[in-house]
């Protein structure tokens, strides 16, 4: 008996955190809405016309008067998607580095594998990534992969499909760019399936990055050290087996 495919346009909302992306957000929202009618743009303290451009393109805009960080912006957008009755959220960055044409590939991978989290993998085209960013991404991805016991080739990609009921069950508290890593670890530790899907790699030469190399690298290292200590502690002190559990 054939199995009905999920009605992704009804079940899934796009969540796009952004800061000062007036030049790209309108086109991005328009392209995303060809696949997903509901686009939630979290305008995280922008001082330009990001909100206006997003609204004109048909997005629902959630505005924070001051910048709160990518992690908090994502949290707000995901909570809004959940509250509005959506079962899934597709997250994209607001600077246009993710191609909406790749969205159907996320849906197909989720259907094929029953994954709760599908992560975009840009590393098949890694040569197009700036050298330093490519090396840092690979270094971080190796460490996250070891931490969770699973190969995660592009741990820093923010282009993701997230099952909201699963996300609601795990604890993700990161306020800034370390949110990508923390989400992977939280899903893995909860025994939730994580899959990757190849996506395009789009960089705009000369466009300023929102990542502050020194500050955000230090934040990530502090997070990773805490996560590693937590993993070691869990390994050293496994939960006791109660009578009746075996």
Using 50, 70 and 90 to split pLDDT, how confident is the model at 201? confident
The domain that holds 185 is classified in CATH as 3.90.550.10
pLDDT in tens, 144-162: 999 889 999 999 999 999 9
- Note the pLDDT of residue 124: 83
Q: At what angle do helices 70-83 and 179-189 cross, to 10 degrees?
A: 50
Rg (CA), the chain: 18
Query: Domain range spanning residue 169?
Result: 9-231
**Do the domain assignments include residue 120?**
yes
Q: Which residues contact 2 (CB under 8 A, 6 or more apart)?
A: none
> In total, how many domains does the chain have?
1
The C-alpha atoms of residue 208 and residue 102 are separated, in whole angstroms, by 24
The C-alpha atoms of residue 88 and residue 51 are separated, in whole angstroms, by 24
Cβ neighbours around 128 below 10 Å, total:
11
The pTM score is 0.87
- Note the pLDDT of residue 222: 80
DSSP structure string for 182-195: HHHHHHHHTT--EE
pLDDT in tens, 23-33: 999 999 999 99
Cα dist from 158 to 57, 91, 92, 98, whole Å: 22, 7, 6, 9
The C-alpha atoms of residue 76 and residue 40 are separated, in whole angstroms, by 10
Using 50, 70 and 90 to split pLDDT, how confident is the model at 1? very low
The C-alpha atoms of residue 123 and residue 129 are separated, in whole angstroms, by 9
- Note the pLDDT of residue 241: 40
**Do the domain assignments include residue 237?**
no
In 3D, which of 59, 52, 106, 55 has the Cα closest to residue 81?
59
Q: Is the pLDDT of residue 208 over 90?
A: no
**Do the domain assignments include residue 243?**
no
**Do the domain assignments include residue 4?**
no
Mean pLDDT of 86-111: 97
Q: Is the pLDDT of residue 115 over 80?
A: yes
Q: Is the pLDDT of residue 133 over 50?
A: yes
The C-alpha atoms of residue 168 and residue 154 are separated, in whole angstroms, by 23
**Do the domain assignments include residue 239?**
no
Mean pLDDT of 201-215: 65
Cβ neighbours around 138 below 10 Å, total:
17
Query: Which spans in the chain are helix H?
Result: 8-11, 22-32, 50-56, 70-83, 103-113, 131-148, 164-169, 179-189, 213-236
Q: Is the pLDDT of residue 239 over 60?
A: no
**Do the domain assignments include residue 212?**
yes
Q: Name the helix (H) or strand (E) containing 196.
A: strand 194-198
Higher pLDDT, 235 or 80: 80
Higher pLDDT, 203 or 87: 87
CA atoms lying within 13 Å on the CB side of residue 162: 30
pLDDT in tens, 157-177: 999 999 999 999 998 988 888
């Amino acid at each position: 008996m054939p199995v009905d495919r999920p009605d992704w346009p009804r079940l899934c909302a796009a969540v796009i955190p952004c800061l000062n992306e007036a030049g790209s957000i309108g086109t991005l929202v328009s392209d995303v809405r060809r696949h997903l009618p509901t686009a939630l743009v979290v305008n995280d303290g922008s001082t330009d016309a990001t909100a206006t451009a997003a609204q004109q393109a048909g997005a629902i805009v959630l505005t924070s008067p001051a910048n709160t960080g990518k992690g908090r912006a994502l949290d707000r957008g995901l909570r809004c998607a959940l509250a509005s009755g959506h079962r899934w959220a597709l997250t994209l960055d607001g600077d246009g580095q993710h191609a909406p044409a790749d969205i159907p590939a996320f849906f197909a991978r989720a259907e094929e594998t029953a994954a709760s989290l599908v992560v975009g993998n840009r590393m098949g085209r890694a040569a197009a990534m700036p050298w330093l960013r490519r090396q840092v991404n690979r270094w971080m991805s190796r460490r996250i992969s070891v931490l969770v016991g699973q190969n995660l080739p592009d741990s820093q990609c923010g282009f993701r499909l997230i099952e909201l009921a699963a996300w609601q069950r795990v604890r993700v508290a990161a306020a800034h760019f370390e949110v990508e890593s923390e989400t992977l670890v939280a899903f893995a530790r909860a025994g939730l399936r994580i899959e990757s899907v190849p996506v395009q790699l789009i960089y705009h030469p000369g466009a300023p990055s929102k990542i502050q190399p020194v500050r955000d690298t230090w934040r990530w290292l502090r997070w990773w050290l805490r996560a590693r200590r937590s993993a070691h502690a869990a390994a050293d002190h496994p939960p006791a087996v109660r009578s009746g559990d075996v």
